[in-house]
Amino acid sequence: MGGHARQDRAHRGYEQTGMNYRHDYHAGNVGDVLKHVVLTLILEHLRAKPKPILVLDTHAGAGAFDLAGDAASRTGEWRGGIGRLLDADEAPAALRPYLDLVRGVREARGATLYPGSPLIAALGLRPGDRLVAVERHPDAHAALAALLARRPGVRVEAGDGYASLAALLPPPERRGLVLIDPPFEDRAEYQALATALAHAHRRFATGVFMLWYPIKDPGAVEAFHQQVIASGIARVLAAELTTRPTTTIAGLAGAGLILVNPPWRLEETLRDLLPWLAARLAEPPGAGGWWLDWLRGEA
Assess whether 272 carries a catalytic annotation: no
High-pLDDT (> 70) share of the chain, %: 91
Predicted pLDDT of residue 46: 97
Predicted pLDDT of residue 251: 72
Banded pLDDT at 4 (limits 50, 70, 90):
very low
* 24, 57, 129, 181: the active-site residue: 181
The mean pLDDT of the chain is: 90
pLDDT at 180 over 70: yes
Q: What is the pLDDT of residues 64-112, one digit of tens each?
A: 999 999 988 888 999 999 999 998 888 999 999 999 999 999 999 999 9
Mean pLDDT, to the nearest integer, of 266-285? 95
Q: What is the pLDDT of residues 215-238, one digit of tens each?
A: 988 889 999 999 999 999 999 999
Banded pLDDT at 249 (limits 50, 70, 90):
low
Predicted pLDDT of residue 284: 85
Predicted pLDDT of residue 25: 85
pLDDT at 52 over 90: yes
Mean pLDDT, to the nearest integer, of 55-72? 95
Banded pLDDT at 22 (limits 50, 70, 90):
low
pTM: 0.92
Q: What is the pLDDT of residues 117-159, one digit of tens each?
A: 999 999 999 999 999 999 999 999 999 999 999 999 999 999 9
Predicted pLDDT of residue 16: 36
Mean pLDDT, to the nearest integer, of 242-253? 76
Mean pLDDT, to the nearest integer, of 7-33? 60
Mind spelling out the 3-state secondary structure of the chain? Answer: CECCCCCCCCCCCCCCCCCCCCHHHHCCCHHHHHHHHHHHHHHHHHHCCCCCCEEEECCCCCCEEECCCHHHHHHCHHHHCHHHCCCCCCCCHHHHHHHHHHHHHHHHHCCCEEECHHHHHHHCCCCCCEEEEEECCHHHHHHHHHHCCCCCCEEEEECCHHHHHHHHCCCCCCCEEEEECCCCCCCHHHHHHHHHHHHHHHHCCCCEEEEEEEECCHHHHHHHHHHHHHCCCCCEEEEEEECCCCCCCCCCCEEEEEEECCCCCHHHHHHHHHHHHHHHHCCCCCCCEEEEEEEECCC
